[in-house]
Homo-oligomer: A and B are copies of this chain.
Amino acid sequence: MNAEIISVGSELLLGQIINTNAQFLSRQLVLLGIDQYFQTVVGDNRLRLLQALDIASRRADIIIATGGLGPTADDLTKETIAEFLNLELALDRQSLERIESYFARMNRHMTDNNLKQAMFPKGAVILPNDNGTAPGAVIEKNGRMFVVLPGPPDELQPMYLNYVVPILKRFSNACIYSKTVNIYGIGESNVEKILEDLIESQTNPTIAPLAGDSGVNVRITAKAGSEAEAAMMINSVVETIKKRLGSNIYGYDDDSLEAVVISLLRERGYTLSLAESCTGGHISNLLTNVPGASEVFLEGCITYSNESKITRLGVQRETLSRYGAVSPQTAIEMADGIRSSLGSDIGMAVTGIAGPGGGSEEKPVGLVYMAISTGSSTEIKRCLFNGNRLKIKHRTAYELLNWLRLILLQRVNH
């Protein structure tokens, strides 16, 4: 059983939008164990869509067409599929009522061309659109299934999950389940080396490392007869990886390092304050993206100017003039200063050169000092990061957050 996605839309061929729908649907099909061999993108053009349908229906059992369900003349996906399958279009009263009530709810005027959105090939199963006006459809003919979905991702995704998955499940003969292990502090090639024997010998589950901006992710994917069986196969691999990578693992699946840090602080009952120079608020922003951060995060200071470092954090004017703003001495005073001013348990600070300007031979772009003050001690770390301004900000953030995570983990072991 295999599927082919046909993405309909000239805006894709012009590069005006990126094909997130194909990625979303691909991931979903993997979860159902439905294979994909090809994907096609075609413009809003009747003849070329007919060609694409012809090719796809020769090589796939399920054809999923996305986009081109709008009210305007160049939206022709349903009409063209009806033509391809030699089916007439008929008005669906229930869809029309839903569209009318949608317009009423939005306080918008419904124009005549919206009628088109309630027309479907005869015999189609209609998929309600809970987030817009264009319903989708499933049509079965000649041993092929045609699924028609709207283009906007916030309409397509819920429609697929709520109405298409239950229909496709009957074609799914195996359960695919995957788990991601999130790693920081060790490079991709090193991760590969450490897991080499597992990666090479395993075919089910498969193990695939992927490097990103926030460390390395290892994805473990199992195919099994049931979800429980797949989970068991995956967990055994995860246990082996845990033994080898230890505290380099900071989380699983959608866990972000910032969310892990916030929950460690919560569990241990610690409060945090943060002084940022070169990262300019990026670390505070990451931490406060986590709901409930306010329980542990007391304040952040972005002390971009020297005056601010002096006034806000009590950094000594002499420290700045003797060692400079980017120095271990300044980092220590910043961390101690931010910690003591509100009496938080932990104070953190970063100072560095994010570039593109401001670097020198002695202090190049990418040089960053970071410090963590816990009252009993203040530790500092010197780093040199590659990349542009935004990459240096992000690498600094993740390096500091991971360092804090390791310190918090030790606290419970002691």
Contact = CB atoms under 8 A, between A and B. Distances in A.
B308 A298 contact: yes
A287 interface: yes
A298 B289 contact: no
A80 B8 CA distance: 28
A41 B39 contact: yes
Instruction: Classify the secondary structure of A's interface with B.
Output: mixed
B304 A299 contact: yes
Contacts of A287: 280-281
A404 interface: no
Contacts of A303: 299
Nearest to A45: B37
A36 interface: yes
A279 B281 CA distance: 10
Interface in A29-88: 29-30, 36-43, 45, 48, 51-52, 55, 59
A40 B40 contact: yes
A281 B302 contact: yes
Interface in A301-333: 301-305, 307-308, 311-312
Please list the 4 inter-chain residue pairs (A to B) with the smallest Cβ-Cβ separation, ordered nearest first.
A280-B288, A281-B284, A15-B26, A15-B27
Interface of A: 12-20, 22-30, 36-43, 45, 48, 51-52, 55, 59, 208, 210, 219, 274, 276, 279-285, 287-289, 291-294, 297-305, 307-308, 311-312, 341-342, 354-358, 389-390, 393
